[in-house]
Amino acid sequence: MKTKVKISGMFAIVLMMAFAPADAQMTGQQIMEKVYNNPSGDDMQGELVMTLVNSRGEQRVRNLKQFMKNDGKSEKKIMFFMAPADVRNTSFMNWSYADGRDDDQWIYLPALKRTKRISSDGKSDYFMGSDFTYDDLGDRHPDEDNHKLLREETIGGEACYVVESTPKSGGYMYSKTITWVMKESYLGLKREFYDQKGNLLKTLSIKKFEKISGIWTILETEMHNVQKSHKTLMNFSDVRYNKGIPDSQFTERSMTLGI
Amino acid sequence: MKLIEKHLKGLSWLSLVLILAVTALLLIQIRQNTRMETNLDEYMPKTHPAFVYSDQAEEWFNIKDGILIAIENPQGIYNQQTLLKIREISEGLMQMDEFEEIDIQSLYTADNITGSDDGLEVEAFYGAVPGHPDEIEALRHKVRENDMIAGRLVSADETVALVVAGMNSSHFTEDLYHDLLEFAHSFASETENIYVAGRPIVEGTMGHLGPADMKRMVPIVLAVIALVLYLLLRSVRAAASVMLTVFVSTVWAFGLMAIIDVPVYAVSTMIPVMLIAIGVAYGIYFFQYLSNFNHDTPEVKLIDALKKVTIKLSKPLFMAAFTTIIGFISLLTSQVLPIKYFGLFTAFGIFVTFVLALWLLPAMVIIWGCRVRSTKTERRSAPFWNASKITHRLLNYKKSIYITVAIIAIFSVLGLTQVWINSSFLANFENESDIVLTDRFVNSKFGGTSTLNVILESGESDMFKNPAALRLMDEMQLAAEELPVVGNSFSLSDYLKRMNKVMNADKNEFYTIPETSDMVAQYLLLYEMSGDPENLLKVINYDYNRTNITFQLKGDDSKTINQALSVIRQFEEPFRDMGVSVNYAGSGYKALVFTDLILDGQVRSILMSLLLVLVLLTIMFRSLRAGLIGSVPILLTALISFGVMGLFDIPLSTTTALLSSIAIGIGIDYAIHFLQHYRMNLSTEVSRLEAVKKTMAQTGKAISFNAIVVIAGFLVLLFSVFPPNRTLGALVSMNMFTSFAGTLTLMMVLVYRFRVFAGKQGSPEIQENK
């Protein structure tokens, strides 16, 4: 079975915290573990503008408001569409489980006035027509790959480790990824994804990041599929952590209430 | 004098060496630089609005031609082995560099949208191949329930499954063609048959079958022409010299093409056809003139005879070459690039032929000597050609000639109205050939091997979230599907109907367009979140104001496409009322527009050529009457050529359309030689009758020799295995015959009857009963 939908994973990239000072002797494995272990808060809420740009420069823009909570055993997330108008108050909820069970997903369509469970089999795994697959958004465990520190390099004024990660077993859609990890924050600044034929498929770059409530938070990111000349921009705003969002926020009933 | 003679011999050798050297250099150029252009997209005018639009639409919606691999298991496809093969074929194609994953459609790659009381699922029909009979039965059930798959990727009788690999025909290469066939057929077994069909395959097969066949046939054609030439001229040297000019002019034409980096198109194969016909004609005139000159004045030395003959021949030859060249240059007005080039390089080749006839042929005679001198030999060589008797007969039966020509002309005009252009590639193959049988098989089991894309556009964004527009779209699809030639269709409405049904407990009454635009928007969002959003981009754009409907057709011919179009066009008006424009795209549609352009261009160019010929003949002979009568054989040849095509249901294509140019080229030639001789003979002979008899004896013989040689050569093509080449052979032969017969019967009679060049001098009339 493929890695299931992990909307929560979006925040694995988004929320990563500075951890330790640079250590020249670190291995690729250690670097990636530090990246993985960046804490992300107990709960989080914020707004997201997702813009898809195709090769002709046409755009599809969606505004969402999202809430997320992680209690260690499961990660619950709910998103409400705010725009465009014809999908306003459509909501999407995802529960993913630490024990490896398949995620549960629901969608509420206001025009139908009904909540539906949905499932996707992971084969068709692009998130909402974006260039992010659910895999990209997920927090892939460092033990699933072999990591190799290729070199150290400064890009955009940031000193980075350049780590190549190759999957240990088949079933991953990329043949390898190369990540530029900032020495200061252990935040990935850039990542290249290579397809099964070994060609560069996509480049993820972080355009803007900030420390919010002590947590390194990515605010603007761009995924560029170089083979299709398609881009997805995600802009986060109004990000708040640890506001004590109640469990009742993540129910089928609250999905129907809208924003 | 002797000195010049000595020099002449040297000069002749020098000429020969020079010409051969240039030819050799050009041959090297041809070897190195010649490239075949098999990509049909390159044939079409890039700036024509229909092509610009279609190319744009293909890019918008990732519209591609499909290579169809069908796997048939007469016992049914629902068994482990066949299902595994469907998966292996799909995955194998994905691995190829030429295909992208999104372009491969099969039962294995398809999304199954299903619903239940509380959920919606978009998932693969199968990943791991099901082994248990219950699982296989469940799979069969899932397919039967899904209209988006049943009948499209699995045949209704469940014995055939289809794997469709979308690709641009422009990326199709011969290597890929062979690789694909080998790959596909490696899955055949005792229980499973494999069929490979689709437009790229048809184009690919045609691209290599046609030239391969030509390569086989051309040497035989040339051999037959050389042999007949020898039999008529009774001289190996003369025949060889003529063949040399044909060879040299062809090499020069193609050499020039290689130097200026113009690729060889399919229609370029017509260039040698033209150059053979013209080269043989010029060569025969030369040797006929020489032999006649020797016959009349046997005492004159060879060198002097050559000088006289060359000078005498230069005028009619120049006139003939000039008019023919002008005729071919007129093809530059065509919108179709390969036809422009055909005109240009044929014109150049004819110019070379003309120069060689007056330069290389005399030089060859000087070097090699000449045997066609003896009048006795000459008489024996053509016992059938008793010019005097024939002329009398023809003049006596002129009424019969008029009536016969009138009847033929009436039939031709009738045929002319039947002429149709076929954009079909499949029509180029034998009815029982593999490719036709495969196509027929796949068509019988599925929607169709050919596609037509209809693109709807509106200035207003979100237009295609509007249920009214979607319903009209659905109506259009259903109306077109009523036609037997339309197998099925696919659009945004199919997704929405399916979603609406599964979101409403799979109830059939919900297999309709959703009620509100919000509902449409939310379904689409739902699909994007749970399915493969890239699939949606094949039917709808980001702003929801441009959508693509694909119709699957049972044939790629113009009649089928036009039939579908006639139904679809009825919806143009209601759509226009909504502010939606309807346009068409796809390779089948482009081929249709392209053939229209060819016909249009061809008709225009023929009319222009006829007018040009009339004007040129009138100017050259300073007589409108000569111009009018001289145009008769050409008109007749073109008319009969098209008439026969209509009557025998031979559709116009790029190559057959160009045949009319050849008819004109040859026709002018015959007419000019005849008129030129007749005018000269009028001044030397005592009467118009004697003049016409003499002309028939000289020119008539040359013309008939020319016709016999070329007809004999091209009849060889009737044994070709490639149907278009057979048609070519038959039509070239027929055109040569009509030009020949038209000139020597009708035109001769008209020239005599209407006293061309004779004015009112009142030469003695022929006595009808003589």
Per-residue pLDDT tens digits for B305-316: 888 889 988 988
Determine, yes or no, domain membership for A2.
no
Residue of B nearest to A122 (CA): B123
Tell me the pLDDT tens digit for each residue of B456-486.
Answer: 999 998 999 999 999 999 999 999 999 999 9
Cβ within 8 Å, pair B518-A126: no
Whether the model pTM is above 0.90: no
Q: What is the CATH number of the domain that holds A24?
A: 2.50.20.10
Cβ within 8 Å, pair A126-B532: yes
With contacts defined as CB-CB under 8 Å, which chain A residues touch B57?
none
pLDDT value at residue B717 = 83
Among A15, A73, A52, CA closest to A233: A52
Contact B648, B731 (CB under 8 A): no
pLDDT value at residue B118 = 64
Interface residue A113 vs chain B (CB under 8 A): no
Cβ within 8 Å, pair B528-A128: yes
Cβ within 8 Å, pair B533-A197: no
Answer yes or no: is pLDDT of B413 > 80: yes
Collapsing DSSP states into helix, strand and coil, what is residue B162?
A: strand
By residue range, what is the domain housing residue A187? 7-257
With contacts defined as CB-CB under 8 Å, which chain B residues touch A197?
97
Cβ within 8 Å, pair A116-B120: yes
With contacts defined as CB-CB under 8 Å, which chain A residues touch B96?
none
Cβ within 8 Å, pair B531-A112: no
Answer yes or no: is pLDDT of B766 > 50: no
Percentage of chain B with pLDDT > 90? Answer: 35
d(CA B468, CA B578): 9
Q: How many CB atoms lie within 10 A of CB B623?
A: 18
Orientation of helix B270-296 relative to helix B236-259, angle to 10°: 140
Interface residue A84 vs chain B (CB under 8 A): yes
The number of folded domains in chain A is: 1
Using alpha carbons only, give the angle A199, A201, A202 rounded to the nearest 5 degrees.
145
B442-445: long-range contacts, CB 8 A cutoff, minimum separation 24: B442/B68, B442/B70, B442/B160, B442/B162, B442/B195, B442/B197, B443/B487, B443/B554, B443/B555, B445/B70, B445/B155, B445/B156, B445/B157, B445/B159, B445/B160
Q: Which residues contact B5 (CB under 8 A, 6 or more apart)?
A: B303
pLDDT value at residue A50 = 94
Cβ within 8 Å, pair B521-A112: no
Determine, yes or no, domain membership for A243.
yes
Answer yes or no: is pLDDT of B591 > 90: no
Domain with CATH 1.20.1640.10 in chain B: 2-39+205-418+593-753
Size of interface A-B (CB pairs under 8 A): 99
Using alpha carbons only, give the angle B86, B92, B97 rounded to the nearest 5 degrees.
145
B652 or A147: which carries more pLDDT confidence? A147
Tell me the pLDDT tens digit for each residue of B494-507.
Answer: 999 988 988 888 88
d(CA B78, CA B135): 10
A108 or A127: which carries more pLDDT confidence? A108
Strand A114-120 and strand B119-124: the pairing is parallel
Tell me the pLDDT tens digit for each residue of B688-705.
Answer: 899 999 899 888 888 888
Residue of B nearest to A112 (CA): B519
With contacts defined as CB-CB under 8 Å, which chain A residues touch B124?
121, 123
**Superfamily (CATH H level) for B2-39+205-418+593-753:** Multidrug efflux transporter AcrB transmembrane domain (1.20.1640.10)
Interface of A with B in 165-194 (CB under 8 A): none
SS (H, E, C) B586-651: CHHHHHHHHHHHHHHHHHHHHHHHHHHHHHHHHHHHCCHHHHHHHCHHHHHHHHHHHHHHHHCCCC
Interface residue A52 vs chain B (CB under 8 A): yes
Cβ within 8 Å, pair A129-B533: yes
Collapsing DSSP states into helix, strand and coil, what is residue B455?
A: strand
pLDDT value at residue A25 = 67
Nearest CA distance, A199 vs chain B (angstrom): 11
pLDDT value at residue B722 = 80
Nearest CA distance, B108 vs chain A (angstrom): 11
Cβ within 8 Å, pair A120-B522: no
Q: Which of B503, B534, B536 sits opposite A112 (nearest CB)?
A: B503
Residue of A nearest to B465 (CA): A86
Determine, yes or no, domain membership for A1.
no
Q: Which of B111, B523, B541 sits opposite A124 (nearest CB)?
A: B111
With contacts defined as CB-CB under 8 Å, which chain B residues touch A117?
118-120
With contacts defined as CB-CB under 8 Å, which chain B residues touch A120?
121-123, 529-531
Average pLDDT over residues A222-236: 92
Average pLDDT over residues B4-29: 88
Q: Which of A59, A86, A127 sits opposite B465 (nearest CB)?
A: A86
Determine, yes or no, domain membership for A204.
yes
- Report residue A243: phi and psi, to 5°: -95, 5
Contact B90, B75 (CB under 8 A): no
Residue of B nearest to A129 (CA): B533
With contacts defined as CB-CB under 8 Å, which chain A residues touch B517?
86
Interface residue A119 vs chain B (CB under 8 A): yes
Residue of A nearest to B503 (CA): A116
**A211-239 burial, b if ≥16 CB within 10 A, otherwise e?**
ebeebbbbbbbbbbbeebebbbbbbbeeb
Contact B529, A107 (CB under 8 A): yes
The pair of structure tokens assigned to A38 is 């960046």
Average pLDDT over residues B753-763: 67
